Structure 1
Amino acid sequence: MTDPTLPICPRELHGFVRVATVSPALKLGDVQANVAVIRTEMQRLAGEGCRLIVFPELCLTGYSCADLFYLRTLQQQALQGVKQLAEANAELGCCIVVGLPLAVQGRLYNVAAVIADGEVLGYVPKINLPNAGEFYERRWFSPATTLTDTHTDGDGTPIGTDLLFEATDLPGFVLGIEVCEDLWTVIPPSSHAALAGATLLANPSASNEVLGKYQYRRQLITQQSARCLAAYVYSSAGAGESSTDTVYSGHGLIAENGALLGETERFSFQTRVAIADIDLQRLEHERLRSTAFRDAPATQSYSRITFCLGNFAGEESRTNEALKRPLPALPFVPPAGADRKAVCEEIFAIQATGLARRLRQTRSKTAVLGLSGGLDSTLALLVMMEALKRADMPPEAALTITMPGFGTTQRTKGNAEKLAEALRIPLRTIPIGAAVEQHFKDIGHPPGLHDVTYENAQARERTQVLMDVANQTGGFVVGTGDLSESALGWCTFNGDHMSMYHVNAGVPKTLVKYLIEWCATELYADEAGAILHDIIDTPISPELLPLAADGSMEQKTEDTVGPYELHDFFLFHFVRHGCGEEKIRFLARQAFDGKYAGEVIDQWLAVFLRRFVQSQFKRSSMPDGPKVGSVALSPRGDWRMPSDYGGNQF
């Protein structure tokens, strides 16, 4: 079925599979009309590149047929409808899940049929039949536990709750099925299926609506996807099923490892669809990382039914169109609509509590910080002020020092002075120029040679000043370097690389800006808001090279190492999701489409990977610092890597 002359879909090369949940506009009891609607949607969605399409429970007949389920003609029509859909499925390159009543061994079962490659691969019967309140399925159906054979009558198609469906030409595509109420049980069948290897979980359902139920349903599905480290595709009966005392809304959801990727409009009489691209490689990576998942024994044996999906049905689906899933360019920054106040307060609480604990433990009298007027030292100062409160220390214990050198601009020095004044804390000015020049004489370094020695000597002199002042005052040096700098090794070993506690160690540069902006508008709008906004707008620089003739800044960090927003994107996907170089490149070109050309992304990605590997020795000896998010580089916790790694392929 696979044609090697056809182009390979780029997203599938990187582990993505497109899935859809459909709530079709059905007619109760009219199987042929329902088959026509399902067939139309199957063909259309296959043309859009969907590899898995899930329809609702009993969608061939309608869920609300009640005693009509007893009619042999309705049962036969439904079985014939499945065969028609299987014939229409051939050459489409997709797998579909549909629901129907199926008579087996003298009993009637509520089953999900799995169709792919032009065949009915198997039937999965419902285990838990709701039989209270508005539901009374046991009136017509038998639970799956009553099955005594593993094949259906007549054509011998496999049937059972122990079936998994694996696409051999899509690595990681292993499908497990549970039907509606099965999800609402203490231990859903999907939990066992996930432990047996299912990465995709499908649930054809007919969940009616009562006040607040949709919120609970959404939480249930996203949480189950998180517990199973899997994708969960849920399709529910639509408004056309509503009858007598029950109303259905057609609530379809797609979740991946706790994140909601897609959701349909509810209460529509028209067919509603949600589509999302699932990252199967990410799910497999999460399972490898999770000891809780790896150590959980498989409690049920499954039979794997293999099939081949082959090529897409339509030319459009093989193009490099945008991924149908959230792909933020700033993955560390909370998305629009997030509760910014709650997020920032949580981050501040984590940072400040960690620092306060260290201050209390060391019985420090002062907290000493080098205040440059740049982003990192500003955030560290704001966190330090909160930590002093939590440690029951007076604001006067905050001892800040500004240490102008050869590249210090009036703008940054002035902002440091104005910020300390606005916060009513002491600020000492200790110029380092003379000390560094003497050091150059001592080691025989030409002062006009602006090389790495020239730059690093200044960073180390500043650290020495901070450490010695801390000794003088019974204090404690608070480091300012952030997560992005640690990833790139953009710090001077035994200079700004060193402190007694690196309060920003878990905060990447893009998040530093976000936090300071929040402080400027919420916490310090009156005292220091304007100063903080100007600090945000100041180009990022270590200020270690001499100024231009007009006193302006010559050295800008992002001109040397690249844009931090790109590096933070690379860092997130490399460390958090284990993405290789090609996949990161693919994702970055999608996320930054229209902002950075492909060759620019390639250039800085190469820089990131090279610097990340070369800088591990700095991270291996980094000071303590609080973990803030899901990405951290502490060698004592989250990232263990040989400092002398010699590989260059990722």
Structure 2
Amino acid sequence: MGRKVTVATCSLNQWALDFDGNLQRILTSIEVAKSRGAKYRLGPELEVSGYGCADHFYESDTLLHSLQVLKKLLESPVTQDIICDVGMPIMHHNVRYNCRVVFLHRRILLIRPKMQMANYGNYRELRWFSPWSRSRQVEEYFLPRMIQEVTGQETVPFGDCVLSTKDTCIGSEMCAELWNPRSPHIDMSLDGVEIFTNSSASHHELRKADQRVSLVKSATTKSGGIYLYANQRGCDGDRLYYDGCCMVAINGDIVAQGAQFSLDDVEVVTATLDLEDVRSYRGELCQPHLEHDVKSCRRVKVDFSLSSGDDVFLPTHQPITWQFHTPEEEISLGPACWLWDYLRRSGQAGFLLPLSGGVDSSSTACIVHSMCVLVCQAVQDGNVQVLRDVRRVVGDEAYCPQRPKELCGRVFTTCYMASENSSEGTRGRAKDLAAQIGSAHLNINIDLAVKGMLGVFSMVTGKLPQFRASGGSVRENLALQNVQARIRMVLAYLFAQLSLWARGKPGGLLVLGSANVDESLTGYFTKYDCSSADVNPIGGISKTDLKSFLLYCVDQFQLPALTGIVAAPPTAELEPLTDGQVSQTDEADMGMTYSELSVIGRLRKISKCGPYSMFCKLIHMWKEAFSPSEVAQKVKHFFRMYSVNRHKMTTVTPSYHAESYSPDDNRFDLRPFLYNTRWTWQFRCIDNEVSQVEGNAQHQ
């Protein structure tokens, strides 16, 4: 009958400017798709160049090398007898576009430029690309000579058009276009397009996957059709982790699901579906002829069928229930995959982490342990690429990891940096956790280095600062804390460079940071202390989520040491102990709890609240716990801390982006770092409201 089609979509772990690797992964995905009977293969956004090229998109080299890769794809026998849909940058009339290039049998069928750009949050597409703003309009694109030599074509259609095969009609939309209130698939479906494709570079954020799945399901619930979603996977050179989730849907149901977190560089998802199901669905729900203002899509006719002539006995894919990860699982898997990409592509031999025995550094340690679990599982599953990468990282071509704990000992070094202000409790918790995960653990005493630094200061000035507990001023007390923290950073880098050398092994280590998103929000860390590192896997995760994550790890990874770590009060241990006990806690220093900070962070970034509007919201949200004057005090205190310390975010360690209220100054949160920290006008507005509320209360 010729009505069943087999289509393929994929998640690829592409790398910005890695044209050799990107080409090979694209070819592998096409080969797998063909082996499963697919006649259409969809890949991720900008898969040829890598999505994260950023200002490299300005360079003519990036455009040239992308065309050279396209030439290789067109020439390859692998790409024959299947419609290939690849993403790459194209310049047309001296304007750069983010495009889909669709080809078959060494001929380009069409080039479809992106029409609605992602230009918010982590994305700056309008910096490098222009949107195609001419709806339903197509121009002739003159192919470069190198492509003409392969295809025999001088020009190809460029613009907003769809593909019309012998048996169906296929239309493209790209990433942000699905999220846009005027998504192209609406008009396309009303004009008879039956298969929609979406190539994306969509990053992971905690609790975000369900939004993506809901959008894909909704796209075909409203007007029927088949929807293919492809996505980038992995770290392609920045703070983002692209989390796959390629999928196929029909008439509002997901029928095929790819993995959200995986170490596989290439994942192909195929589905066989019946076009008559789309037509029957639309026959009842949709009557496009009643829509008078719908413009017809420009169709590019293709002498090719996605279906075969005799497919009666070909089974079709049935609806499935999407299996979502919990936030704790997401923290365990996402940053772990990101760290593995970073390690294997950095040329380094492992990680070094200053392990304090607190929640933050312990969370980072558990993420590295989770990475080792994933690597061992991938090797056991026969992933040749992962095994090859492991051997290169450890410098042993015969090595094959057997257990996560044993691999951890090879690639992970932890160190407890003790001072006279450190407690036995934190030292013991760090030692126990290191033993349970298997890291190579060092005990380092920093007192000699601290005394040396203070000795230099005393020799020059004739003065020796004292802690507050010994009669020193606030300035002296803070300076003495900071010198300890900064010496830990210097020692971390020294041991990262030389600890393997001291053990007779090759290579250096990447230093891991462990400041959480809430500490970054208030600037509750020392600039250039041991929060300064090469990468930070928890820099976009809240303290509340990290505690839940550690409790999850207790059972998931059999790490009982974490129970005591979660129960202990968070402390920097930079001030003298009182009778051997910690006298300083993080929440006391910050003047608010971590859970309060999470609420404030979301209001500041997601709800776009300044001091006054934040106060107006919090007096209702916190009315059971705090009076209006207490809420005002907390809001003022936060904005003072935030604005005084905002400069620290200009030097913050690159962090895994996991939270939508991240204060990362370098990519995500574009706000000043020099403020009038008194906020006179804003705080006066708050005070006026407090006076009015309290005055009304007195008269009642």
TM-score where L is the length of structure 2: 0.43
TM-score where L is the length of structure 1: 0.46
